[in-house]
Amino acid sequence: MIIKTHYGIFNSLLNKEIIKNQHITRLGKIFQDDLSPLFYKDASKATRFEHTFGVVHLASLVKATEKEKKLLEYSALLHDIGLPCFGHIGESVMQRVLEKDHEENALDIIKNSEIKTILEEEGILEQIIDIFNKRHYLTELIFGSVD
């Protein structure tokens, strides 16, 4: 599938049905309003949806096998679905209230929504779970210092 974003046009291995998922589309309503505006003038106008597709675009550029690229693109797409409003600043409240971070919350969403079925159909559910549980060699590219 060809995806066009303000990061450019790229060919993606993503199933277009997952992009329509409510957990992905809600990222368009969450602005990156944490401390980013101090460093990037237009950051407050950027949404997590836009950020997510930037990360997917970067994942698509990694030299890897097709299976690894697929895992990276799906992990990139899903990496912020567990964020509450106000991004990572809201996450500190979520950690106090729910006692979990956005990766754990994302994993709950993945396991308990139609996303699980899509990942099963793609044959990558277990590997995605391992990436989110930080038990996969590709984890560092999604949740490491790059994120």
Question: Running DSSP on this structure, what letter comes out for residue 47?
Answer: B
The whole-number average pLDDT for the span 114-126 is 96
**Cβ(75)–Cβ(142) below 8 Å:** yes
Q: What is this structure's pTM?
A: 0.85
Q: Is the pLDDT of residue 120 over 70?
A: yes
Q: Say which residues have a Cβ less than 8 Å from residue 137's Cβ, sequence separation at least 6.
A: none
User: Cβ atoms within 10 A of the Cβ of 127, count?
Assistant: 20
Q: What is the pLDDT of residue 12?
A: 81
If pLDDT is split at 50, 70 and 90, which confidence band does 89 have? confident
Q: Tens digit of pLDDT for each residue in 18-51?
A: 989 999 999 988 877 655 555 666 555 678 888 8
Q: Say which residues have a Cβ less than 8 Å from residue 66's Cβ, sequence separation at least 6.
A: 13
- Among candidates 119, 98, 96, 89, which has minimal Cα distance to 23? 119
